[in-house]
Chain A
């Protein structure tokens, strides 16, 4: 039994890390907004989905212009990501302005309901537009950009392992996502705007007294979070090929879990949480039925991920990397 698990482990890790990086970058959006506003922005999963659609539309346009094949694919995808990030960032700022800012003084529950409303609105808007442009079909299939597979001949290195393989897009997704996270980390910790964001997160009123423009800082946070979400959407579409207007719900829920697992409000924690959830989910899907002798099957993989969340929260309620908040006087 252990042999089996060990043999497939490298492949499980590859697949788990792919999924985990997607969760991680989405989790960043949740964690940043929570950090600064103490608001769970449930529309963030839908921003990710919208980004996936905008990105695929841009890539399809490139493909119909005949650019794919003539220009380097990586540059095309990066351009699509950049454009998408701009659009979804603007959508994020708009949502904050319309749906959250008027409610900033209202109880948190009201803003939460507003967020859920926005997420339904985006879902139906995207579904309607896609059906309109795509002959009444809301599944959108992007152009296939990375066709080749890379084989890792692990069985030659160690006989107890089996060969693993991954799509070339996996490397692209991984590198881009890591680059995004590093840039964000530097931005928040090293720049003046990052300092303003941290100041507003710590104490909004005092920050305002010190000359920080709170509204602008919050808008910026939303822009960055939503731009990241949109860019991840493009990565997701490139990796999996097919998207529909409802991908944001499940992925958003899991990314939110990842944010909580890592310690909500903490950027590095979100990344760690995303990777853990991704790998645990893959591991559970591949091994649950082997481990339990077919009593519990792969369909319970999500339960497994959530059990870990509950255990972590029981023993460390602030999350893996979160700091316990001291009561503000």
Chain B
């Protein structure tokens, strides 16, 4: 019994010490400047860890590049990386933790829309602005939260951009649409049909398939019979790969267009040599195609000793957007740190910012008005495909 009591007392003491040391931590660093923390919230473990880490490193690079600029103003920048594990519950608990830290002024993240949506409710309560590199779901910004911003395109831009590309560049007059009956696939197919017909094209077929099946010859017989100029596939790569393969085996030679659901190396494995002449739309651009992007890739690979992923440059630009807003609001406030509300509004007010990959102007909801959708083409049997076009709103 006695030992148990001792244990309780001991743990209470330890707890108290912890709390006290927390209170006692100074708001200043060794050289006397005040700390400004910027958090990243991305999956650093689990299935999307590679991309989450890439976003974090991009953000870290931007932050370290601008450390000197802020120390002249009398502030020292600090990056606090959080791992949201791609899990909404973990995202929210991280959000609570980082909002409790008074020195955290903004968040770069999240990677997954499903995590961003619940976590941003916490940010909104605490006036901590977030800028997302990769959330495409409509609901992320459609809720009208003051703290939520994104620099990439929305889902509803993908299908219209695909339609535009098909009409202008592929010279498609007729399209056959196959969708996989999921929320993602049918939404995309519906939007594509609308945009394609509005642009003067004709839909000659609109059919659904079942996820998990392996034989799509029935639907493809219809396609072969209609001889469309383009086959649009709204779904993900396991079915997409087989549809492409079986279509080519049936002698359907027309180009195939899809969305980011097809963007996977497994697609190439499944479809094999049939993958040629397949196009897909994606919200992530190829950084090596622009001058500033190339410079970013060079710096990134020499700094971290590895090649950047598609979203690294987006992490970098997100951090730049945040730091620009911060330095501007500090200067407007007479070199003193303004309230979190002011910084939040300054982020939203970002206009004509040119980063390494993106140009950013936030609209009233936090969507980037200059966001682009990129078109990729599999020119040969290898992943990744080549970027062939970019389409803005």
Contact = CB atoms under 8 A, between A and B. Distances in A.
A167 interface: yes
B175 to A, nearest CB: 15
A186 interface: no
A241 B238 CA distance: 12
B300 interface: no
Interface in A237-295: 240-244, 246-247, 249-250, 281-286, 289-290, 294
A219 B231 CA distance: 50
Given A139-B266, A139-B270, A242-B270, A8 B214 contact: no
Interface in B236-274: 238, 241-242, 245, 249-251, 266, 269-270, 272
A249 B224 CA distance: 29
Contacts of A203: none
B212 A15 contact: no
Given A162-B225, A289-B205, A137 B266 contact: yes
Contacts of A149: 249, 251
B215 interface: yes
Contact of A241 (B212, B221, B225, B270): B270
A290 B208 CA distance: 14
A27 interface: no
B218 interface: yes
B221 A11 contact: yes
B213 interface: yes
A162 B224 CA distance: 10
Contacts of B222: 8, 285-286, 289-290, 298
Contacts of A285: 217-219, 221-222
Given A144-B272, A242-B238, A249-B212, A301 B249 contact: no
Contacts of A247: 212, 214
A281 B210 CA distance: 13
Nearest to B248: A149
B188 to A, nearest CB: 16
Chain B binding surface SS class: helix
Contact of A299 (B205, B207, B249): B207
A242 B249 CA distance: 15
A241 B243 CA distance: 12
A244 B219 contact: no
B209 interface: yes
Most buried by A among B206, B225, B245, B272: B225
B245 A241 contact: yes
B218 A286 contact: yes
Contact of A15 (B209, B213, B217, B266): B217
A302 interface: yes
B181 interface: yes
B218 A289 contact: no
Contacts of B242: 240-242
B246 to A, nearest CB: 8
A223 B269 CA distance: 34
Nearest to A163: B251
A15 B238 contact: no
A139 B241 CA distance: 11
B249 A167 contact: yes
A281 to B, nearest CB: 7
Nearest to A140: B269
A286 B221 contact: yes
Contacts of A286: 218-219, 221-222
Contacts of A202: none
Contacts of B181: 299
B210 A8 contact: no
Most buried by B among A8, A286, A301: A286
Given A141-B270, A289-B207, A12 B215 contact: no
Interface in A287-318: 289-290, 294, 297-299, 301-302
A141 B214 CA distance: 12
Contacts of B251: 149, 165
A189 interface: no
Most buried by A among B181, B210, B215, B250: B215
Contacts of B245: 241
A19 B219 contact: no
Interface in A209-257: 236, 240-244, 246-247, 249-250
Nearest to A14: B217
A240 B241 CA distance: 11
A119 to B, nearest CB: 15
A7 interface: yes
B269 A141 contact: yes
A272 to B, nearest CB: 20
A4 interface: yes
Interface in B178-227: 181, 205-210, 212-215, 217-219, 221-222, 224-225
Given A285-B218, A298-B207, A8 B225 contact: yes
A237 to B, nearest CB: 10
Interface string B57-92: 000000000000000000000000000000000000
Nearest to A254: B213
A289 B226 CA distance: 13
Q: Which 5 A-B pairs have the closest CB atoms?
A: A285-B218, A299-B208, A15-B217, A298-B207, A286-B221
9 contacts: A139-B266, A162-B225, A240-B242, A241-B270, A246-B212, A250-B210, A285-B222, A299-B207, A302-B210
Given A282-B218, A286-B222, A299-B207, 16 more contacts: A4-B225, A7-B225, A8-B224, A137-B266, A139-B269, A139-B270, A165-B251, A236-B214, A240-B214, A242-B238, A246-B212, A282-B221, A285-B222, A289-B207, A298-B207, A298-B222
